[in-house]
Amino acid sequence: MENIIVQKYGGTSVGSVDKVKAVAKKIVNRKREGNHIIVIVSAMGNTTNNLIKKANQINSNPSSREMDMLLSTGEQISISLLAMAIETLKEKVVSLTGQQCGIITDCNHKKAKIEKIDNERIIRELKENKIVIVAGFQGVNRNMDITTLGRGGSDTTAVAIAAAVKAKKCEIYTDVDGVYTADPRFVPNAQLLDKISYDEMLELASLGAKVLHPRSVELARKFNIPLAVRSSFNDSKGTEIVEVNKVEKVLVRGISIDNEIVKIAVLEVPDKPGIAFKLFSTLAKNNIHVDMIIQNINRKSINDITFTVNNDDLKEALRIANEIASEIGAKSVIYDENVSKLSVVGTGIAGNSEVASTFFESLYDLKINIQMISTSEIKISCIIDKDGSLNAFQYLHDKFRLGNNIDTINEAI
């Protein structure tokens, strides 16, 4: 089929009855332009957080399977209400759960990955001229158990379905006008970007920017899905995520901050081959993503291994780290939740020493101590105390002149 557009609306976009009605009008208008429309919807507002709170009031350590069963209901409320709103506008519509639209995942509850999508039901409904509303964030595994894709999973659902039906575009609608040089809630002069490359967007997303989930960007890049981030509340063009050769050669694209991380250290680890492998392979087997890693060499054939994980994984990561520390004869495991990851992102950063110089000089000016450093071709990240992170975030945005017209960014260095 031709002219298929996939749209995704986040929780804030459908956070009330009035907002649901407004989104319905937006969808119908797009369909009446001659498009086939598939819509992926998140749970309304704080529904997911409220469900988690209720679960913890009943069971402080509920099983992952039952949590997936519970949390999947949030999206099902959204899709049915949105379908009802579209019905009042005299358009044919059908709402589908993850299972009904053919999303098959692996067996990892709470952080499942999509293995395949059987698009037969979706295509059949589109051919009947229906708007198809799909519950984001969920699927089923081979045992027919409901699984969820983790926080931000609705973005991943949208891009995966866009790839499965060969959509001409995937549009992510949110509560901001697009992708900014920094979070406009904290940096009032942050600039809206017309375009950003897949790689730059992936780095910003993985470094704490909340606009898109990293896995959705990975999928869009892999299957070359045209991706756009737009506002649910106006008709602005938003930001296009494109191939790097279609983006102007701006050195620094944006600044991000991630306050949802924790630093864990295994102290006085025997300096023997295979210990780091044992620790990090065990974390990986338990679906815990490790970001930054540092190993400090000490005297007497011992060292400290320090790494960062997401706050949500702290309890399980500490359990694993303590078990392994006991097995290998390490002294202890400590952790620090009062940390943030501050990052600067842009194509070509690795080839320009002035970017690193400006970055670290800025932290020196603010008398902020750097605890960990990580670099790649297009980003520099460091771990600092959370207490000074917001000030550093704003200072760096000004230092690189990202609040100016995007064309003048390079003048900063």
Helix axes 214-222, 198-206, angle to 10 degrees: 160
pLDDT at 190 over 70: yes
Burial code of 106-141, b = ≥16 C-beta within 10 A, e = fewer? Answer: eebbbbbbbeebebeebbebbeeebbbbbbbbbbbb
Percent of the chain with pLDDT over 70: 94
Q: What is the mean pLDDT of residues 103-128?
A: 94
What integer pLDDT is reported at residue 214 of this predicted model?
83
| 172 — pLDDT class (breaks 50, 70, 90) | very high
Determine the pLDDT at residue 45.
Answer: 85
Q: Are 40 and 134 in contact, with CB atoms under 8 Å apart?
A: yes
The whole-number pLDDT of residue 244 equals 65
Which residues face 96 on adjacent strands? 134
- pLDDT of residue 411 exceeding 70, the answer is no
Q: How far apart are CA 175 and CA 195, in angstroms?
A: 18
Kindly state whether residue 301 falls inside one of the protein's structural domains. Answer: no
Q: Is residue 226 part of a domain?
A: no
What CATH number does the domain containing 97 carry?
3.40.1160.10
Judge whether residue 409 has pLDDT over 50.
Answer: no
- The total of structural domains in the chain comes to 1
pLDDT tier at 236, thresholds 50, 70, 90 = confident
DSSP string, 253-294: -EEEEE-SEEEEEEEEEE--TTHHHHHHHHHHHTTPPEEEEE
What pLDDT, in 10s, does the model give residues 368-403? 999 999 988 888 999 999 999 999 999 999 998 888
Q: Note whether residue 242 is domain-resident.
A: no
Q: Could you tell me if residue 273 is inside a domain?
A: no
Judge contact between 119 and 127, C-beta under 8 A.
Answer: no
Q: Is the residue at 144 inside a domain?
A: yes
Region 318-341: what's the mean pLDDT?
95
Question: In terms of residue numbers, what domain contains 129?
Answer: 4-175
- 37 closest CA partner among 75, 9, 78, 76: 9
Beta bridge partners of 302: 270
Dihedral in degrees, nearest 10, Cα atoms 119, 120, 126, 128: -170
Cα radius of gyration (the chain): 23
User: Residue 367: inside a domain, yes or no?
Assistant: no
Report the share of the chain in percent with pLDDT over 90.
66
Mean pLDDT for 228-232 is 92
Q: Is residue 49 included in any domain, yes or no?
A: yes
Mind listing the pLDDT tens digit for each residue in 248-278? 555 788 899 999 999 999 999 998 889 999 9
Q: What is the pLDDT of residue 208?
A: 60
Any domain includes 362: no
